[in-house]
Amino acid sequence: MALHVAIDGPAASGKTTVARTLARRLSVPYLDTGAMYRALAWRALETGTQPADEAALMRLLTREPIEALPSHADGSAFCITIGGRDPGAALYGPDVSAAVSAVAAHPNVRRAMVERQREIAAAGPVVMAGRDIGTIVLPAAPFKFFLTASLDERVARRAAELAAARQAVDIVELRRNLERRDRLDATRAVAPLRAAPDAVQIDSTGRSAAEVLALMLELVGQEAHR
């Protein structure tokens, strides 16, 4: 069985940081599945496609397929492109963040993304982060984590990230956006955010990324190298 690690959790729960570092430490590539949904939302906004219009989104996806390409010299992460373009930091802009949950709620969009994600996993080991990795994408993954953190902590972390990237921070708006995304992601009809019954749940409130990583490495690292 290939080394597949599934990491799920709500927005700004710290998944990305720990997933990327864990992948590096295990020498396996990292796939941020949220970036795939964000890439489609980004192109939808650019092309004037309504996030609520599933058929139009599917036509866009057919015209401009999403690819996951090894991005670093050490092969430690996949870079997401759409129609051959790398959206870069635009994926994390406020417009994309506000539109992405609606895009990710469509069953056909999800089917296409999940198919692509499973192909990547079939090709070899991967640390995959998202909302439905342990439940839907890789239900047989030998390692599953569900990361949570309090809303206050998640707002503070996202604010610090934005400040570090020299982007404007509006705390009230940030909190509203996170709450809205939590609600949409957790209540959608298809593949709602929830922990797989066999996932190890980690509450990262008050814990540093290094502490969370150490916990995960304890569970994965030793067995992976046994």
Least CB distance from residue 33 to ligand DC, whole Å? 4
Residue choice 30, 37, 78, 145 for contact with ligand DC (CB under 6 A): 37
Least CB distance from residue 133 to ligand DC, whole Å? 6
Least CB distance from residue 37 to ligand DC, whole Å? 4
Site for ligand DC in 44-103 (CB under 6 A): 100-101
Site for ligand DC in 103-142 (CB under 6 A): 104, 130-132
Identify the helix (H) or strand (E) that includes residue 65.
none
Binding mask 157-186 for ligand DC (x = CB under 6 A): ------------------------x---x-
Question: From residue 214, how far is each of 4, 15, 70, 83, 207 by CA, in Å?
Answer: 18, 14, 26, 38, 11
Q: With binding defined as CB under 6 A, does residue 7 bind ligand DC?
A: no
Q: With binding defined as CB under 6 A, does residue 30 bind ligand DC?
A: no
Q: Which residues contact 121 (CB under 8 A, 6 or more apart)?
A: 2, 4, 128, 137, 138
- Of the two residues 198 and 223, which places its CB atom closer to ligand DC in the complex? 198
Q: With binding defined as CB under 6 A, does residue 39 bind ligand DC?
A: no
| Residue 138 structure tokens | 């890789």
How far is the C-alpha of 40 from the C-alpha of 138, rounded, in Å?
Answer: 22
* Dihedral angle computed from the Cα positions of residues 151, 154, 160 and 166, in that order, rounded to the nearest 10 degrees: -90
- Of the two residues 11 and 61, which places its CB atom closer to ligand DC in the complex? 11
Bridge partners (DSSP) listed for residue 160: none
- Of the two residues 65 and 218, which places its CB atom closer to ligand DC in the complex? 65
Identify the helix (H) or strand (E) that includes residue 103.
helix 94-104
- Of the two residues 8 and 76, which places its CB atom closer to ligand DC in the complex? 8
- Of the two residues 20 and 181, which places its CB atom closer to ligand DC in the complex? 181
By rule CB under 6 A, what count of residues binds ligand DC? 13
- Of the two residues 53 and 161, which places its CB atom closer to ligand DC in the complex? 161
- Do residues 69 and 76 lie in contact, with contact meaning Cβ atoms separated by under 8 Å? no
How far is the C-alpha of 14 from the C-alpha of 208, rounded, in Å?
Answer: 9
Unique residue bearing structure tokens 């709602």: 192
Residues making contact with ligand DC (CB under 6 A): 11, 33-34, 37-38, 100-101, 104, 130-132, 181, 185
